[in-house]
């Protein structure tokens, strides 16, 4: 755990990933978090609503020194209201893994923390190619790549499109997003089009939509392998990044053992 100089600032987090990062690095700093902030499991702070509908008066009543947010997860009008009320709001932008590491370091520094060990371990975990992309511990195997669709919602069906953090993680795991060139970041794709696409794999995370073995795979041909993956390890940027390569790799191998 990183040492903190003096009394930590009072922090409200509107981003589940950053809530976990601050909680494990700067104990006592968090005074508020959203209803969706589920990690650490024993987090005991005031809940301030959702990421898209935070309770601004409740946040103001906590008198935080800092509010941490994300340009994608939180709405600009809510952040403007907090700034107008005189609060300092730090807004992160995360579109890929490298940016995530930089933003995590920036957030933790703003909370008064030194660089934590878990962040070093997370970076190290992603330096080496995942085991399933190498031959018997040898060099990377660029031929082992799968073209996949990554749905994140159904009713209507939505998938990862361009410039997404989760898409970058999967690319590093040998999974090429079939919709990475789409004009939208989270396009709606009719199920008929998904079924007709030339896919090696379908990746179904358990958040934001909770895909399960009984809810999602049945929509696709039995000839197309389906990987059910942990949404926290695919979409969160925080301490979970240290174990994400192993967790995601195991899920991919289970879905496509002949190749991975």
CATH placement of domain 128-255: 3.40.50.1980
Instruction: Give tens-digit pLDDT for 120-170.
Output: 999 999 987 665 554 444 444 445 689 999 999 999 999 999 999 999 999
Instruction: Give tens-digit pLDDT for 31-74.
Output: 999 999 999 999 999 999 999 999 999 999 999 999 999 999 99
Domain ranges of the chain: 11-123, 128-255
Q: Which ranges of the chain would DSSP assign to H, the alpha helix? A: 16-25, 56-61, 76-84, 97-110, 117-127, 165-172, 191-196, 231-235, 244-255
pLDDT at position 255 over 90: no
In words, the CATH class of domain 11-123 is alpha beta
Closest-CA residue to 245 (of 110, 123, 155): 123
pLDDT at position 218 over 80: yes
Q: Which two tokens stand for residue 98?
A: 């490298």
Q: Tell me the C-alpha distance between 241 and 114, whole Å.
A: 18
211-239 mean pLDDT = 94
Instruction: Give tens-digit pLDDT for 179-204.
Output: 999 999 999 999 999 999 989 999 99
Closest-CA residue to 33 (of 232, 105, 24, 18): 18
Domains 11-123 and 128-255 share a fold: yes
Total-model pTM? 0.88
252-259 mean pLDDT = 73
């Amino acid at each position: 755990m990183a040492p903190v100089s003096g009394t930590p600032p009072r922090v409200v987090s509107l981003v589940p990933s950053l809530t976990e990062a601050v909680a494990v690095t700067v104990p006592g700093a968090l005074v508020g978090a959203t209803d969706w902030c589920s990690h650490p499991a024993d987090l005991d702070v005031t809940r301030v609503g959702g990421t898209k509908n935070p309770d601004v008066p409740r946040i103001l009543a906590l008198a935080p020194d800092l509010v941490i947010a994300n340009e994608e997860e939180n709405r600009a009008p809510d952040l403007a209201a907090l700034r107008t009320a005189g609060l300092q709001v730090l807004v992160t932008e995360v579109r890929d893994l490298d940016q995530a590491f930089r933003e995590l370091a920036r957030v933790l520094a703003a909370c008064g923390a030194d660089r934590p060990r878990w962040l070093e371990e997370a970076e190290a975990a992603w330096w080496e190619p995942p085991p399933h992309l190498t031959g018997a511990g040898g060099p990377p195997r660029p031929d082992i790549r799968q073209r996949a669709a990554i749905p994140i919602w159904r009713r209507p069906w939505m998938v990862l499109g361009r410039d997404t953090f989760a898409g970058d993680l999967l690319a590093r795991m040998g999974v090429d997003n079939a919709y990475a060139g789409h004009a939208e970041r989270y396009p709606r794709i009719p199920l008929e089009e998904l079924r007709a696409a030339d896919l090696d794999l379908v990746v179904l995370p358990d958040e934001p939509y909770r895909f399960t073995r009984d809810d999602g795979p049945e929509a696709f041909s039995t000839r197309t392998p389906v990987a059910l993956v942990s949404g926290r390890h695919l979409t969160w940027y925080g301490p979970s990044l240290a174990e994400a390569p192993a967790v995601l790799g195991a899920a991919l191998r289970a879905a496509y053992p002949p190749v991975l």
